[in-house]
Structures are given as C-alpha cells and as structure tokens.
Structure 1
C-alpha cells in the first residue's frame, strides 16, 4: 500500500507539474471615436458647408504570427452654412459614411522599431438631401 501511494504521488507530480502550452494567443482591440473634419480648399465643400461631426467605431484582431484583420465604420454629419443654401444648389444636410476592411502585417525590426503594413478596401458614401422649396410638406 505504501508503494502504491508513493508511486501515485510521483506520477501525479510528474504529470501535473509540466508546463502547459499556451493556446493560440490572439490580441484584439475595439475603439470608439468622435470625429471632426473640416473641408479645405477653394471648393463648394469648404465654402458652403460647416465642419463635419460624427462618430465611429472599429476593431482589430492580431494573431501571434503577426497577421491581423480589422474593420472600421464612421458616420459624419454636416449642415449648409446659413445663406449659402442657394449657392450650394438647394442641397442640405450632407452625410458621409466610411467603411474600411483591412489586413495587417506587423514586422518587428528591433526591440524599439516596428513596421506595420496594411492593405484593404474602403467604401465612401456622400449623400445630400435635395431641398425643393416649391413642394409643401
């Protein structure tokens, strides 16, 4: 009986004292943001529109082999400046939608220097409301 107890203690100690391998370590992040964008230049967007304000959110997954995938969505809103409605062509309340999907690769050059490459697809949609003053609501 003593030999059996000693043998079980040795087997259990050797079996459970081994380091277990870690599973696939995937690093992820989720971000929420508030956005502001001012059109620049000599064009109708810069002259006749107020700055765009909006929100966005996104996420990113990075695997241990330094490859990842990401997703980003943003929605921005603006208004036509007072008195510029006719100059802007009876259009009001512009809205911009941005949707991005991308793949990422991270290369550690040294402990202090890292390079990250990205390739992906972006979808931009810019819509306006047509203001017809002859129609009554």
Structure 2
C-alpha cells in the first residue's frame, strides 16, 4: 500500500501537473500549495528513508519517488525564471505535435522552449533516479 501511494503521489502527480497543467504553475497560490506538499514529501522521505521494508530490489527506496514533485517544481521555476529573463515571457512546455515557429499560448514556439522542456524532463527523471 505504501509503495503504491509513493508511486502515485511521487511520480504520477508531478507528471500530470507538468504535462497537462503547467500553466497553473504560474499562479502563486498553486505554487504555494504544491510547494507545501513538496516540503511534506521531503520530510516524509527524510523521516522514513531508513525503513528497510520500503527498499526495492535494485538498492533504492520506494520513498525516492516522493522527491519527484520538489525536483519538478524547482527545475520548472528556475527554467521559467531564466526564460523570463531572456525573453520576458513564460516558458511553454512543448510536447508531441508542437513545431518550431508554431503558435501556442498566444506566441510562437521558440527553440529554447524545446530545449528547456527536454532539460526539464531529463532533470526530472534522472535527477531523482540517482539520489539513492
């Protein structure tokens, strides 16, 4: 049960938030709510990381999944801030079907949107994977 919850809250929630609702991450109330949840998840990780029943058979802990949300929030915030410094507008998370120069969210998609989206995804996946 704990393993299922850690996967659900740790991995699926951030993926859904990042993939489909990233525009809501521009609102301060949403950032505050998810940052609070992220802090709680980090505290749970710190408190229960040494519980042997939560270890999987590849040497890590199922609780490592709880670090995905904070990692995603931090990297999205930093990359969005960097995009605002360079271009003066918010980052567009690109996905399948988007093309360079295509229209989305009221502006054209730039190469930096693709680069930052790929970087966010890689940091999100590999940053937490190697924390154990």
Give TM-score, length-normalised by structure 2: 0.26
Greater helix content: 2
- Normalising to structure 1: TM-score of the pair? 0.25
Greater percentage in strand: 1
Task: Specify the structure having the higher radius of gyration (Cα).
Answer: 1
> Structure with the greater relative contact order (CA < 8 A, sep ≥ 6): 1 or 2?
2
